[in-house]
Chain A
Amino acid sequence: MEERLKLSRIYIIACLSMIVIGIAALVVAFIGDPQRAWANYLLNNVYFLSLAVGAMFFLSIQRVSHSGWSAGFIRVPEAMGAYIPIAAVLFLLLIPGAHSLYHWSHADAVSHDSLLAHKAPYLNLPFWVIRMVVFFGLWILMTWLIRRLSRREDLSGGLSFFKKGEHYAKIFIFIVIITFSFAMIDWIMSIDAHWYSTIFAIKNFVAAFHHAAIIIVFIVLILNQRGYFPFLSKSHVGDFSRYIFMLCIIWGYFWFTEFMLIWYANIPEETTYFITRVRGEGWRPFFFANLLINWFLPFVLLMPKAIGQNKLVVKIVIPVLIVGQFIDLYLQIFPGTVGKQVLGFQEIGIFVGFAGLFMLVVGYALSRGNLYPVNHPYLEECKHHHT
């Protein structure tokens, strides 16, 4: 069962050239409109960090629930977790851009605004940076512990690593729910510092989990196409698409809960957020596309069991949902920072660059170790999984 992923030269060159495109687009964006560049930088940072954290959460859920069906694939979410330290570096580079993104970071704005002054003990730049460091410190530590255990299990075997891994997974779930919620409030919700929504954090957390699950399935299916994961059966594909199906419903549920309560209560401070996005120039199609792509499409397409087990359909749904997560974050970040609806080669180029980096890191992390967890107690169950 021992097998290592070999990264082809073409893959590495493709990733590197994507990164070059991204850097070029970022430079062009900075020359043209620094605020737009920072907004893009934040968006892509959050996007790919969400995937990494969501993947580690997916892994922890599998560990805690003693899932047999997914045991053979856990190296994929583990490898996605390897992106978190890279994301930490990229997020620290965001600090100089805070002034372009968050108007609570301007001292004169706070002095003229009693609401911002009231929030200043929490929303100030030093504390914001400290929180960022703490969040990343905790995530990197837990990811490192979980991944190290899994690698050691490969070498020596035995149940002790599995039990310890379950213990760490519980701690990670506890930590990540709290820290990721605060992180989303810090990095995205505070863009509209006057506005607040109590369900915002969990909605974004579910979005991260939703789209991380999608990327996990995508990587598994691509590797399977290249001859890896020979034990992948229809039942696995069916269960993976059940995961996407389930998460799209939860995402839609939280999206609607946030929207409907604000719409119903009709409090001016809250409704401005949605009025900008529904009635504002250019945002309206994105607002509805967000709901259609992230909820309606997977809900309708993946509902019948036979379609959910079809690799081709799942492969078609996934790229659309990758765009869906972009639209979701785009709608949250851009109206509050750039102000007008812009979508040009800068947005696409920077996204391509980040995607290249993510692919490179995940591919490298996957190729470093054994592709299958050979001593995982549930590996045999995974191979014979049948629904």
Chain B
Amino acid sequence: MEAQYLIGVFDEEESMLTAFRRMKEEELEIEDVFTPYPIHEVLDNHGRKSKITIVGWFYGLFAALGVLAFLVYTAVIDWPLNYGGKPSSAFPSFIVVTIILTILSITILSLGTFSWRANLWPSNEKPIYHDRATDDKFVILVKKENVDQNKASSLFKETGASEILEK
């Protein structure tokens, strides 16, 4: 199979960031960046802000309303039971269950969403672009079809990439 990606490998955070900034300036499209630790500049300027928090909020809203509706249906509408003489629509007693199940739903649904978006299903083989990416190397990945290859590789060279690969 023909190589799809051009990969710049850097030893230092600073040189990778220089390459990152210059690529942003010259409007070369970056596919992904792999770093050993989170780098705020990359997170903020990569242009791929995660929307998982917003999704998580809606999961929470959905779960809270869903659990409350379920509790009201089971304990008030469908089968009212008398517990200690309290009214069957005893709102304070629903809250704990709602909180716990909301947290559980957010966790599981967000995990599912994240796995789906990041292609992390168990059967899915995730390509590893460089063996030491996220270990001690800083790796910038560009898609060949999106950028001018010569320009990108010369930029990598100028900013001090230790390796330039195609994969």
Contact = CB atoms under 8 A, between A and B. Distances in A.
A275 interface: no
A263 B92 contact: yes
B92 A266 contact: no
B32 to A, nearest CB: 22
Contact of B95 (A260, A305, A386): A260
A264 B93 contact: yes
16 contacts: A256-B92, A256-B95, A259-B92, A260-B92, A260-B93, A260-B95, A260-B96, A263-B92, A264-B92, A264-B93, A266-B84, A266-B85, A266-B86, A303-B57, A386-B40, A387-B40
A266 B87 CA distance: 13
Contacts of B95: 256, 260
Interface residues of A, number: 10
Contacts of B86: 266
B59 to A, nearest CB: 14
Nearest to A235: B40
Interface of B: 40, 53, 57, 84-86, 92-93, 95-96
Interface of A: 256, 259-260, 263-264, 266, 303, 305, 386-387
Contacts of A303: 57
B92 to A, nearest CB: 5
Nearest to B84: A266
A68 B57 CA distance: 29
Nearest to A253: B99
Contacts of A387: 40
Contacts of A266: 84-86
B11 to A, nearest CB: 23
Given A260-B96, A266-B86, 15 more contacts: A256-B92, A256-B95, A259-B92, A260-B92, A260-B93, A260-B95, A263-B92, A264-B92, A264-B93, A266-B84, A266-B85, A303-B57, A305-B53, A386-B40, A387-B40
Which 7 residue pairs spanning A and B have beta carbons closest together? A260-B92, A386-B40, A263-B92, A266-B84, A264-B93, A256-B95, A260-B95
Contacts of A260: 92-93, 95-96
A239 B165 CA distance: 40
A266 B90 CA distance: 13
Nearest to A266: B84
Contacts of A259: 92
B37 to A, nearest CB: 13
A256 B96 CA distance: 9
A303 B84 CA distance: 38
A263 B96 CA distance: 13
A256 B93 CA distance: 11
